[in-house]
Amino acid sequence: MDLRQFLMCLSLCTAFALSKPTEKKDRVHHEPQLSDKVHNDAQSFDYDHDAFLGAEEAKTFDQLPDKEMIVDKIDADKDGFVTEGELKSWIKHAQKKYIYDNVENQWQEFDMNQDGLISWDEYRNVTYGTYLDDPDPDDGFNYKQMMVRDERRFKMADKDGDLIATKEEFTAFLHPEEYDYMKDIVVQETMEDIDKNADGFIDLEEYIGDMYSHDGNADEPEWVKTEREQFVEFRDKNRDGKMDKEETKDWILPSDYDHAEAEARHLVYESDQNKDGKLTKEEIVDKYDLFVGSQATDFGEALVRHDEF
């Protein structure tokens, strides 16, 4: 299976696949945990290492870098201090390595002219080229309709409107749930998938039907009954029997506890010796074990990847 076929299968599975009768489909996007370790600095700094480096890098880096170089990379505005906000941004980047790896893996396939950018025409031709030549495909899927949907998302990700995506814009296109300015398109696409009668709302039966297929079974699993109660009690906030755009957004993009923000606040609290709310290079170096561990740690590879984005 080539990349184009893989992408089409992935798109079709995401948009059209039904869950098994007894399995629950989850459309809710949650912030990932920073680490599976217990956050207890009295025992170890393992949680902080995973949060700051990313779990895989915390395991494998083995060459000590220039400590001050690290601080310079985190100090986005180059004022000589690292703020809680800058630490939060760094931690979020480290935790989303899998997203950047995914973009890197696809980039060369779509950047046909190797100019470091991906145009809509390049993406469309690679993804849909052969399918658009067949007006009546055997599999019954409407590829032209899918292409229109992708084009709409591409245009939303393309901030300057030139139909040419930078790496950051292409990342927003492939992973819209990770970008605030793309969240409306995530909600819109979800509603289009579930709203079978196209009235612009999601009613109870559409909500359940997206998660569960009766498939001839008279008795619903217990979790389906629970979901019916959840819809009535929590999803449908205005009690009109259906979810509108804002209610759908609250459902699939909940305001989760921000783990990166909490960890950044913790690192500043533990390292800020003069309690001015920001960290100097000296303060970070003094608490270097807290940030990246007492073991020799190679941060160079992470810094290179950070520069690429």
Per-residue pLDDT at 141: 72
Size (the chain), residues: 309
For residues 265 and 84, the answer to whether their CB atoms sit within 8 Å is yes
Question: Which of these ranges, 22-26, 98-102, 143-147, 272-276, has the smallest mean pLDDT?
Answer: 22-26
Integer CA distances (angstroms), 58 to 43, 46, 48, 284, 301, in order: 17, 9, 10, 18, 12
Q: pLDDT value at position 10?
A: 45
Rounded CA gap, 171 and 147, in Å?
A: 18
Q: What is the pLDDT of residue 48?
A: 56
Q: Locate tokens 């658009």: which residue?
A: 132
Q: What is the mean pLDDT of the chain?
A: 78
Q: Taking 50 as the threshold, does the pLDDT of residue 222 lie above it?
A: yes
User: Phi and psi (nearest 5°) for 119?
Assistant: -85, 165
Per-residue pLDDT at 220: 84
Question: Model confidence over 51-77: pLDDT tens digits?
Answer: 565 555 444 433 445 556 777 878 999
Query: Taking a C-beta distance cutoff of 8 angstroms, is the pair 309, 170 a contact?
Result: no
What residue type is 54 in one-letter code? G
pLDDT in tens, 127-145: 988 777 766 666 667 788 8
pLDDT for 257-287, tens place per residue?
Answer: 677 888 889 889 989 999 999 999 889 888 8
- Other C-beta atoms lying within 10 Å of the C-beta of residue 113: 9
For 77, other C-beta atoms within 10 Å of its C-beta total 10
For residue 64, count CB atoms less than 10 angstroms from its CB and return exposed for 0-12, middle for 13-18, buried for 19 or more. middle
Q: Supply 39's token pair.
A: 């956050």
- Looking at the chain, the whole-number percentage of residues with pLDDT higher than 90 is 45
Name, in order, each residue with C-beta under 8 angstroms of 267's C-beta and a sequence gap of 6 or more.
48, 52, 87, 287, 290, 291
Which residues, listed in sequence order, are joined to residue 289 by a DSSP beta bridge? none
The torsion of the CA quartet 163, 168, 170, 171, rounded to 10 degrees, works out to: -160
Which range has the top average pLDDT, 46-60, 161-175, 245-259, 265-279? 161-175
Which pLDDT does position 21 carry in this prediction?
42
> How far is Cα of residue 267 from the mean position of the Cα atoms in its chain?
24
pLDDT band of 296, cuts 50, 70, 90: very low
Task: Say what the pLDDT of residue 64 is.
Answer: 41
